Amino acid sequence: MRTADVIVLGAGMVGVSAALHLQARGREVVLVDRRGAGLETSFGNAGLIERSSIFPYLFPRDPAKLVKYALNLLPEAHYHLGALPSVAPWLMRYWRESAPERVKRSIAARRPLIEHSLIEHEELIRQAGAGALLRRPGWIKLFRREETLAAGVADAEKLRAYDLHIDILDARAVFEREPNLASVAGGVHYRDTAFVNDPGALARAYADLFSARGGRFVAADALTLEQEPDGRWSVAGPQGRIAARAAVVALGPWSDLIYRRYGYDMPLGFKRGYHMHYAPQSGATLHHPILDADNGYLLAPMARGVRLTSGAEFAPRDAPPTPVQIERCEPIARLLFPLGAALDAQPWKGARPCFPDMLPVLGEAPRHKGLWFDFGHAHHGLTLGPVSGRLLAEMMTGETPFTDPSPYAATRF
């Protein structure tokens, strides 16, 4: 049986980042994935390293909006009617965790991760020689109506207490930053956020750095994880089992397939999402990632083309794709920006792994020595991968953690 110090299960942004931080602390790490780095959830996001996202995504409290959501009338959210029996309990917990007094705790817990997120990425990007992937335009939240603009500005003003750089834009200022957009009421420019124009390529660059430093990548099924009689953890590789003193579950939306096996009951839910790429029409350029806040989709200037990303779909993780949000949003997006031909044969689908409090689970499994958790990053897997990896590696190697890890413990449920 081959051996290592740590087995990391999952080669998305979260898993690769954890592997790099453990490796930097002298651990011999084996990275396990059935495919390759950055080919699942890490592939299909908006590319934002969201340094300004201090406030979590909350369950809406507006009764009129809730009625529209219930009737599947708004493009930013969609649910499968047949999925309600399985989805509704999680949605109820999400609603409870979005209560004001609980949100305050969530903000306090997520703040140290968010505030260190870009710093940790910058260091790994430097080491990986991947600087060409990083942009610093910030992102712009657009509003079609004066009413929604006023609400968006009010939300932005609350963030100024966190030393963020925010510009409030009228229609003219939006045009100056994005001259190819149709007229809107205004927007908010969050300037601290960085942008990656190929998220999958960044995950692969980190994986290449891991391999160049002697790390082992094994194409294998993470679900073969077992605990050996001597307490070590092992997986079945192509050349036999590999054993280590510790194993890290960083499987994103598939993490429940491991932790439930060992008797842990955590409320992991899934916000599915879709994207499509389009060529811009001749002469048109998109300079920033743009969120159409009134319609719930985002346009991002990716290396492949302009990426249209959808809002959240509430459905079982593995249910067949139903990209109705892309179908609804594409005509609206074409009126906002001159999109040309679609560059993908069909929309890509992924699943954001979310806990009701919008915080990840980070730390050792309460009843299984050597089994560690690093998943549930909700909308911020790309943003939080490296900083989560640092915190996890500090805990695993006995360093003093840079922040109190207790808010992310599995025992909070």
Q: Which of 349, 322, 270, 316 is nearest to 45 (CA)?
A: 349
Q: Which residues make beta-bridge pairs with 2?
A: 242
* 339-367 pLDDT tens trace: 999 999 999 999 999 999 999 999 999 99
336: helix, strand or coil:
helix
pLDDT bucket at 22, cuts 50 / 70 / 90: very high
State how far the Cα of 22 lies from the Cα of 8, in Å rounded to an integer: 10
* pLDDT value at 43 more than 90: no
pLDDT at res. 203? 96
Percent share of the chain, pLDDT over 70: 100
* pLDDT value at 373 more than 80: yes
pLDDT bucket at 39, cuts 50 / 70 / 90: confident
* 233-265 pLDDT tens trace: 999 999 899 999 999 999 999 999 999 999 999
CATH number of 2-42+200-267+357-412: 3.50.50.60
pLDDT bucket at 407, cuts 50 / 70 / 90: very high
Q: Could you tell me which residue, 41 or 302, shows the higher pLDDT?
A: 302
Pairing of strands 2-9, 240-249: parallel
* 60-90 pLDDT tens trace: 888 888 888 888 888 889 998 888 888 999 9
What does the angle CA 119 – CA 271 – CA 134 come to, to the nearest 5 degrees? 25
* pLDDT value at 41 more than 80: no
User: What number is the average pLDDT over the span 96-106?
Assistant: 93
* 329-341 pLDDT tens trace: 999 999 999 999 9
Q: Which residues make beta-bridge pairs with 377?
A: 354
* pLDDT value at 382 more than 90: yes
* Residue extents of the structural domains in the chain: 2-42+200-267+357-412
